[in-house]
């Protein structure tokens, strides 16, 4: 059950893309074959895959958005995007830095007391996951609370309190450890500086600015509109019968770290704007792409301020939350976006399929 509730860890995904293969007449057939094969082999209820490179577009919805209602998956379905939410939160943070409301190297204790090592942890360390703060969503306390009261509306302070029951992973800025606690705390700093909720900030500063029509920061466990159902079962693997967990948990447990709902069309607009530096200053983009040195180069992964970069210049994030898994990335060098969504959260991440799609485009 614990793995079911854990936000998906960041994984290496995507390699260099040779755009000459964009014009291969057999490419769509190959992409259909690999996605159909995965659907058959893994029992994923449904998927959405979007690959857009310049004028080339290959987008498919496969399987079911609602297995028991016999509703086919379509490209316009909304879904929970999990940790891709972190890119929205950190984008908002960087806008506030541009506005002079804070500095990335401010110590956290400038804004909140009683944070472990708060005098030595900076805002930057929170965003790049080098603070060492314990991940509340990895605790048994959290798992038990969420299981026993799944519709509980969580307060950020409650999430932090659970994290701070446990020792830090390491001293600040000496290692990397992915922790939702970091992003929850950033959301709280944003709220303190603006006097508005993180949801209001993201809506006004990003969603409305970009004209995103199907992107929401939810106020409760309900998904509005035309959405894909999300499935899990108790073994955290994709087996039949599917268990519908779409509205089983109130996403406030993920908050600024993972609660946003969106769809493929909106994510294409957003990830392109973020990667092409259309939401904050060039200085902030440069800061965002100062990659932490604590991730081995052999992983092929770079992690900066709330986003990754993979070989081939793909910028974005992946996300997992009960019922859903996705990876969303864009290469400003190649002018290509890749988005893969499954309406099932299990040990099967969306990242490997994204990698395979780009390998096929590269002739492999």
Distance CA 102, CA 98 (A): 9
Within a 13 Å sphere around the CA of 344, how many CA atoms are in the beta-carbon half?
A: 28
Which residues, 6 or more positions from 30, have their beta carbon under 8 angstroms from its beta carbon?
Answer: 360
Closest to 264 measured CA to CA, from 61, 116, 17: 61
User: What are the structure tokens assigned to 252, written together?
Assistant: 């406030």
Mean pLDDT score, 146-150: 94
Task: Quote the tokens at residue 53.
Answer: 């490179």
The pLDDT score that the predictor gives to residue 338 is 96
pLDDT digits (tens, 9 = 90+) for 53-96: 988 899 999 999 999 999 999 999 999 999 999 999 999 999 99
pLDDT score of 1: 40
Distance CA 266, CA 272 (A): 10
In angstroms, the CA 209 to CA 91 distance is 13
Among residues 84, 83, 146, 322, the alpha carbon closest in space to that of 223 is found at 322
- For 211, counting Cβ atoms within 10 Å of its Cβ (0-12 exposed, 13-18 middle, 19+ buried), the class is exposed
Answer whether residue 114 shows pLDDT above 50.
yes
Cα(316)–Cα(339) distance, integer angstroms: 10
Q: What is the pLDDT of residue 37?
A: 95
| CA 230 – CA 294 distance, rounded (Å) | 34
Beta bridge partners of 47: 62, 342
Q: Residues 305-362: pLDDT tens digits?
A: 999 987 578 899 999 999 999 999 999 998 999 999 999 988 889 999 998 998 888 7
């Amino acid at each position: 059950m614990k793995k079911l509730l854990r936000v998906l860890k960041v994984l290496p995904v995507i390699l260099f893309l040779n755009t000459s293969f964009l014009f291969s007449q057999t490419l769509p057939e190959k992409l259909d074959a690999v996605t159909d094969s995965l659907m058959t082999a893994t029992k994923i209820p449904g998927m959405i895959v979007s690959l857009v490179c310049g004028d080339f577009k290959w987008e498919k919805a496969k399987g079911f958005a609602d297995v028991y209602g016999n509703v086919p998956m379509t490209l316009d379905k909304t879904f929970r995007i999990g940790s891709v939410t972190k890119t929205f939160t950190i984008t908002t943070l960087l806008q506030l830095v541009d506005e002079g409301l804070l500095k990335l190297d401010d110590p956290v204790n400038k804004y909140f007391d009683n944070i472990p090592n708060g005098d030595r942890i900076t805002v930057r360390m929170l965003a790049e996951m080098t603070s060492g703060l314990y991940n509340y969503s990895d605790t048994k306390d959290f798992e038990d609370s969420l299981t026993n009261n799944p519709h509980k509306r969580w307060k950020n302070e409650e999430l932090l309190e659970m994290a701070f029951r446990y020792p830090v992973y390491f001293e600040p800025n000496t290692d990397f450890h992915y922790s939702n606690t970091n992003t929850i705390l950033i959301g709280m700093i944003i709220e303190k500086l603006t006097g508005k909720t993180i949801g209001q900030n993201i809506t006004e500063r990003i969603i409305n600015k970009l004209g995103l029509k199907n992107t929401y920061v939810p106020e409760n466990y309900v998904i509005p509109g035309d959405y894909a159902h999300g499935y899990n079962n108790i073994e955290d693997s994709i087996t039949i019968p599917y268990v519908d967990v779409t509205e089983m948990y109130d996403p406030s447990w993920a908050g600024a770290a993972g609660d946003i709902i969106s769809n493929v069309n909106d994510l294409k607009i957003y990830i392109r704007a973020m990667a092409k530096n259309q939401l904050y200053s060039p200085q902030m983009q440069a800061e965002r792409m100062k990659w932490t040195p604590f991730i081995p180069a052999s992983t092929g992964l770079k992690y900066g301020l709330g986003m990754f970069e993979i070989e081939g210049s793909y910028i974005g994030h992946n996300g997992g939350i009960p019922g859903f898994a996705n990876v969303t990335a864009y290469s400003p060098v190649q002018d290509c976006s890749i988005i893969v969504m499954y309406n099932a959260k299990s040990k099967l991440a969306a990242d490997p399929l994204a990698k395979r799609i780009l390998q096929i485009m590269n002739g492999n």
